Amino acid sequence: MLRVAAPEYPIDTPALIVDAGILLANIRRMAGFFAGRPAKLRPHFKTHKTPAIAHLQLQHGAIGITCAKLGEAEVLVHAGIRDVLIANQVTAPAKVARLAGLAHIAHLKVCVDDEENLLALSRAAVAAGSRIGVLVEVDVGMGRSGTRSAPATLRLAARAASLPGIDFQGVMGYEGHAVFRASREDREAACRAANACLLDHAAAVRQEDIPCPLVSAGGTGTYDISGDCPGITEVEAGSYVFMDATYRKIVPEFATALTALATVISRPEPSRAVIDLGMKAVTGEFGLPQPEGLPGATTLALSEEHGVLELEGPARDLRVGDQVVLLPTHCCTTVNLHDRLHVSRGGRVQDVWTIAARGAFC
Ligand SMILES: Cc1ncc(COP(=O)(O)O)c(C=O)c1O
């Protein structure tokens, strides 16, 4: 569906457009799901990296923000956000020191799956005079970071609970392997198994009388499964705010708020148009971004700064200078390629938001 009328845009391309009405509707829909449920939403910042959007999510009931990197946490804290979970490990000595310093200003939580890392966090917090919240990351089937057994989780949790400068807060396990299962039954089964695994680890910790208040899981593809699972206390969904061509097939209840805008720069033959949007402006990670609202146009290829469209039927009317709207296949890796979001209201760009954590992967 064409969300923005491309040719009238007075903005230069390639550019990202956010439809503010759709963005807000997505935020409200997710907030509505969590309202009145025991589990709460701690949305993932990696999707938009934009403090203006994080503040909107907090205004609509989010209990804090999740991020993936210390650099993102710094942007959030400097934007006034005071409850941040880094759902990842922070291990380099210089980063551990930065984290301990930042923990003076905000309630920071970070994930660990290694005892040496935990000890380093404790030493840094003591040296800085701050306290760092810690969750043990559990591998719930994704095969990425995380403890592989409940006894390993318990060992780390017990150590964390005993260390100076550390507040042990719970466990985190993201079921990324379940998210893109095409059938709802498969997704539910994989997600429920992952949730059960995480809850087993939390139970092992509690059995030793160690308080384990936070059990964090979930993403956009599983928000309503993890978010409804008794014992899961918070869900880290990110992409629901923008959506993309991949998630549109999984959670169609959220609408597409983010599109890329490109300009036709060459019409070398009747069936070909070349646009000024290549892989430096849009991801090809989960497939090529396809034109929206332009029947007969298909993206054939992306190179660094060019996209090649194949044209059939009325799409052959495209001329050099015309603008084309495309739907990215992955919003998170597309946003990180840009400095700003052009905010459209009522079909017109009325605002620009800075993607302040763009490139903040250190
Ligand atoms: C740790 C973690 N939590 C949650 C998510 C969910 O993000 P999304 O809702 O964008 O799928 C991800 C996605 O990569 C993740 O890595």
Contact indicator for 15, 344 with CB cutoff of 8 Å:
no
Q: What is the pLDDT of residue 195?
A: 98
Extents of the domains making up the chain = 6-17+253-354, 21-240
Could you tell me whether strands 348-354 and 340-345 are parallel, antiparallel, or unpaired per DSSP bridges?
A: antiparallel
Q: Is the CB of 219 under 6 A from ligand 1?
A: yes
Q: Whose CA is nearest to atom 2 of ligand 1?
A: 174
- The arrangement of secondary structure in 6-17+253-354, i.e. its CATH architecture, is Beta Barrel (2.40)
How far apart (Å, rounded) are the C-alpha atoms in residues 255 and 244? 9
pLDDT of residue 6 exceeding 50? no
Q: Is the CB of 220 under 6 A from ligand 1?
A: yes
Separation of 79 CA from ligand 1 center, angstroms?
A: 22
Alpha helices in 227-276 (DSSP H): 245-250
- pLDDT tens readout for residues 228-254: 999 999 999 999 999 999 999 999 999
User: Considering the chain, what percentage of its residues have pLDDT values greater than 90?
Assistant: 96
Place of tokens 């210089």: 94
Q: Which of 336, 333, 239 is nearest to 287 (CA)?
A: 333
- Which residue from 66, 171, 215, 236 has its CB within 8 A of the most atoms of ligand 1, so it is best to mutate? 236
Say how many CA atoms lie within 13 Å of 168 toward its Cβ.
25
- Which residue from 30, 46, 177, 335 has its CB within 8 A of the most atoms of ligand 1, so it is best to mutate? 46
Q: Is the CB of 289 under 6 A from ligand 1?
A: no
Of the pLDDT bands very low, low, confident and very high (cuts 50, 70, 90), residue 9 is: low
Which DSSP helix (H) or strand (E) runs through 297?
strand 297-302
Q: Is the CB of 238 under 6 A from ligand 1?
A: yes
* Region 320-342 average pLDDT: 98
Separation of 218 CA from ligand 1 center, angstroms?
A: 7
Contact indicator for 203, 158 with CB cutoff of 8 Å:
no
Q: Is the CB of 69 under 6 A from ligand 1?
A: no
- pLDDT tens readout for residues 327-337: 999 999 999 99
Reported pTM? 0.96
Q: What are phi and psi of 103, to 5 degrees?
A: -65, -10
Give domain 21-240's CATH superfamily. Alanine racemase (3.20.20.10)
Q: Which of 145, 110, 136 is nearest to 125 (CA)?
A: 110
User: Considering the chain, what percentage of its residues have pLDDT values greater than 70?
Assistant: 98
Q: What are phi and psi of 156, to 5 degrees?
A: -70, -40
